[in-house]
Amino acid sequence: MMKKVSIKDAGLKLNGSWHYKGDEVVVDDNEYEANKDYLILLEDMTGNNERKIEIVVEDETIDIDKLKADIEIFVQNYNNIKDEKEETNTTTETEPTLEELRAKASELGIDASRMTNKDNIIKKINEAEAPMFGEEETNTTTETE
């Protein structure tokens, strides 16, 4: 098995080359066992695609068992969250271009040729498409009479 490690101290020769404090190196079990006093284990890479991560928690007020459970739940749900984000990105409608908005505005009799802000054009289109408040009120009164 292979392990991803970080060097603790100034320098250490691993796999025939020198590595220094903070360097991340992948070593085999024999190399790790021979030098484990000088290494920080970052990840234990096993052959069955199962990976282990060691987390150092210096704050003694944190409940380690609860943290471990929370991390396991997060990891289990990680792919689901990522898939949901991708689905929402693909289902989102594309925003109309400025030219499309200008064309729609001109169909409604709005002169938007000089307007450069999409939000302003959209606002004018919505105002033109929405029924006038007074007309709506008269229609409802005539229907009820």
Q: What are 90-140's pLDDT values in tens digits?
A: 555 678 888 888 888 888 888 887 877 888 888 888 888 876 555 544 444
Please, what's the b/e burial string for 11-42 (b: 16 or more CB within 10 A of its CB; e: otherwise)? ebebeeeebeeeeebebeeebbeebeeebeeb
As to burial, measured by CB atoms within 10 angstroms (0-12 exposed, 13-18 middle, 19+ buried), residue 2 is middle
How much is the pTM? 0.34
In 3D, which of 115, 87, 86 has the Cα closest to residue 101?
A: 115
Residue spans of beta strands (DSSP E) within 60-139: none
Give the model confidence (pLDDT) of 38-71 as tens digits: 999 888 876 666 667 777 888 888 888 888 888 8
